């Protein structure tokens, strides 16, 4: 509870008398009260008149307007209630696979061309390298997580230290995490900011994927191909947040080869060779 209020014409009006200012030279001001007169100290009048401006900005204004007076050491509880912010949720790690973020996106109202309606996003906190796995249902998530951990162990000879997810039951693989010595952190209820790094990565991938889809003039069911290509691009493009390095460079310790890049949606050919066609027949390239 932050205060009490009286009902007035269908509304509850809080008693805004919870501020602390020196009470010398007070002047009475009728301040939104139905049955009483709240006394505001003169030292707080300009603070109130200027919308609870900060002491730093009030001192700057006082240089322009000598009549403006305020007390720099005064404390206003109203400012704390109105302007307080949550502490930051994200902390950077110092090595690859020390912290992995997992999240599920979907369902999409239009199924992908292969009937995929979801995708699993895996983000390395240090390198910001991202992997996505297309899913037809959420029931596939647990198996894909175990396969991914095995892939990391075989290819990088590292076992992830910590995994951070939301509270989807598909991520509750306690026996598997225990067998690997992995700590599983779950977001608090109604606090998606704790897994905000992968949430922002979703927005980035979707923005790039949407641009590729519109550029190529492909139909909506081919969204999966645009998303996979967008993920590929994001992993090899440098970022100022990574000191102008790419996620690929941080993960593999060398820069990627960009000579193989092509425009998404470029013309290509597919072969239709049958067993009875001779080796001298024309082949698509």
pLDDT score, position 68: 78
181 vs 162: CA distance, rounded Å: 9
In the predicted model, what is the mean pLDDT of residues 228-254?
92
> Going along 10-129, which residue ranges are E strands?
11-14, 26-28, 39-41, 99-105, 118-124
280 vs 275: CA distance, rounded Å: 13
pLDDT score, position 60: 80
Surface-to-core class of residue 212, CB atoms within 10 Å of its CB (0-12 exposed, 13-18 middle, 19+ buried): buried
What pLDDT digit, counting tens, does each position of 3-44 carry?
677 777 777 776 655 444 454 444 444 454 445 555 666 667
Residue 147 has pLDDT above 90, yes or no: yes
pLDDT score, position 282: 61
Residue 136 Rama label (left phi>0; alpha psi -120 to 50; beta): alpha
Q: How confident is the model at residue 90 (pLDDT cuts 50, 70, 90)?
A: low
Partners of 19 in the beta sheet?
none
Fold of 99-252: Nucleotidyltransferase; domain 5 (3.30.420)
Residue 49 has pLDDT above 80, yes or no: no
Partners of 28 in the beta sheet?
39
* 3-class DSSP assignment, residue 41: strand
What pLDDT digit, counting tens, does each position of 218-234 carry?
888 888 899 999 999 99
36 vs 32: CA distance, rounded Å: 9
164 vs 171: CA distance, rounded Å: 9
- Angle made by CA atoms 278, 282, 285, in degrees to the nearest 5: 125
List the domain boundaries for the chain: 5-83, 99-252
Per-chain mean pLDDT for the chain = 80
In this structure, the number of other CB atoms found within 10 A of the CB of residue 85 comes to 5
Minimum mean pLDDT range among 43-57, 113-127, 183-197, 264-278: 264-278
- What DSSP line would sit under 181-211, residue for residue? T-EEEEPPTT-GGGGHHHHHHHHHHHHHHHH
pLDDT score, position 178: 95
- Is the Cα torsion angle 24, 28, 31, 36 positive or negative in sign? positive
272 vs 65: CA distance, rounded Å: 83
pLDDT score, position 24: 47
- Comparison of pLDDT for 2 and 206, the residue scoring more: 206
- Angle made by CA atoms 161, 163, 167, in degrees to the nearest 5: 155
């Amino acid at each position: 509870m932050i205060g009490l209020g009286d009902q007035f014409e269908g509304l509850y009006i809080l008693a805004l008398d919870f501020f602390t200012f020196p009470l010398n030279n007070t002047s009475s001001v009728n301040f939104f009260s139905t049955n009483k007169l709240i006394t505001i100290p003169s030292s707080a009048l300009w603070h109130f008149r200027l919308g609870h401006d900060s002491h730093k900005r009030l001192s700057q204004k006082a240089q322009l307007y000598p009549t403006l007076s305020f007390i720099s050491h005064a404390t206003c509880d109203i400012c704390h209630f109105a302007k307080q912010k949550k502490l930051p949720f994200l902390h950077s790690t110092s090595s690859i696979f020390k912290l992995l973020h997992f999240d599920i996106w979907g369902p999409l109202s239009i199924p992908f061309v292969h009937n995929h309606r979801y995708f699993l996003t895996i983000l390395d906190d240090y390198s910001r390298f991202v992997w996505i796995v297309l899913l037809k249902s959420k029931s596939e998530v647990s198996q894909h997580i175990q396969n991914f951990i095995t892939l990391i162990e075989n290819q990088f000879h590292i076992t992830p230290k910590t995994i951070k997810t939301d509270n989807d039951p598909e991520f509750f693989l306690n026996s598997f995490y225990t067998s690997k010595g992995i700590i599983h952190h779950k977001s608090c209820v109604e606090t998606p900011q704790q897994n905000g790094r992968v949430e922002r990565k979703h927005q980035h991938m979707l923005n790039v994927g949407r641009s590729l889809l519109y550029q190529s003039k492909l139909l909506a069911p081919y969204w999966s191909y645009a998303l996979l290509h967008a993920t590929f691009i994001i992993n090899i493009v440098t970022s100022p947040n990574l000191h102008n390095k790419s996620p690929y460079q941080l993960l593999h310790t060398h820069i990627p080869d960009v000579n193989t890049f092509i425009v998404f949606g470029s013309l290509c050919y597919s072969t239709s060779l049958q067993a009875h066609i001779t080796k001298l027949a024309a082949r698509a390239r």
